[in-house]
Structure 1
Amino acid sequence: MIVVTDTSVILNLCLIQRAELLPQLFGKIICPPSVRAEFERLAKYDPRFAGLFFPEFIEVKPVGKIQPELGANHRIHPGEIEAISLALESNAQALLIDERAGRQAAAALGLQCIGILGILLQAKSKRLIESVSPLIAQLESQGQFWMAPGLVKRILELAGET
């Protein structure tokens, strides 16, 4: 299985020390160069992510062609545009992405999108983690990662943690 990751997912999984879940769940993980560059910039300049290192298991792969319909969408960041384009040209089984605008654009192009909460839920169902609740709390406190309360409630229900 090949999946493409955007910056937010991998950055926040590294923050909560759970990046190893990605190859365990999905096998081969790839990203465009802009995702690695954004990760490294945030790890260098954003105190929340100080000291994080880009995971060696992620293969950085250049994007052949940017999808033209994405370039006109100003709500999507360049890294997301490249990640979506790479997922399409690589025939990836999924795109790991959290941002709403990017998810909507990717879904409109037929990509399956999985966010960090979906990853944690899959990890629990495969018994790779014991509980999603403390990891959600870490994301909120350490990463200042915003999640809709209704979504968190639904994830906790699906995980059997309510």
Structure 2
Amino acid sequence: MPEVISNTSPLQYLAQIGLLHILPAMAGRIIVPQAVVEELAQGRAAGLSLPDPTAIEWMTIRRPVGASALPLVTDLGPGETEALLLALESQDARVILDDALARRIAKTQGLQVIGTLGLLLEAKRAGHLPLIRPYIEHLDALRFRLAPYTREAVLKLAGESM
């Protein structure tokens, strides 16, 4: 099984829609970069209800060992950068990212990529969720960036399109 490394936004959104618990059911242990821990702590300090990876037994916090040219991509945040660095250091990793630029970079580096919506689809296929439409509607209410055509494509893949 590949290592699973998560950026901030998937953890944030899964927690806010009440589905953080599906991660260990689907992937076992989740690796979280230190920068993600710090970003989540900043959100909690601002009053958001966000998880604390240091208090979750199925999350492992890890810092990248080395540096690469990724920090030169200035449009990436610290969490995305560290998640990509950790994935590149792993022999077999799957990285959870929602940011479009980070996903493009991951794919150009040959990394396995999934996002929050992909996790919802996998959770439904694995029998962890009966429907994903209510969760997508909740994500909409949280201002999760989701183009109408992407929303419809995901619902179609889930067998929930109208």
Question: What TM-score comes out, normalization by structure 2 length?
Answer: 0.92
Q: Mark the runs of 5 or more structure 1 residues left unpaired by the alignment.
A: none
Distance 1:10 1:60 in 2: 13
Distance 1:37 1:90 in 2: 22
Q: Residue in 2 aligned with 1:53?
A: 51
Superposition deviation, residue 123 in structure 1: 0.2
Superposition deviation, residue 148 in structure 1: 1.2
The residue identity in structure 2 corresponding to 1:28 is R
Work out whether residues 66 and 82 of structure 1, in 8 Å CA contact, stay in contact via their aligned partners in 2.
no
Q: Residue in 2 aligned with 1:32?
A: 33
Q: Residue in 2 aligned with 1:15?
A: 16
- Show CA shifts across 1:77-130 (max 9, x none): 121111100011123431000000100111111111100000000000011011
Residues 134-149 of structure 1 mapped to structure 2, 5 A cutoff? 134-141=134-141, 143-149=142-148
Q: What's the C-alpha RMSD, in Å, of the aligned pairs?
A: 1.2
Distance 1:44 1:137 in 2: 26
Question: What TM-score comes out, normalization by structure 1 length?
Answer: 0.92
Distance 1:126 1:18 in 2: 14
Superposition deviation, residue 54 in structure 1: 1.9
The residue identity in structure 2 corresponding to 1:22 is L
Q: Residue in 2 aligned with 1:41?
A: 42
Query: Number of paired residues?
Result: 157
4+ long deviations beyond 4 Å: none
SS at 2:121's partner residue?
A: helix
Identity %: 33
Q: Mark the runs of 5 or more structure 2 residues left unpaired by the alignment.
A: none
SS at 1:94's partner residue?
A: strand
Q: Residue in 1 aligned with 2:129?
A: 129
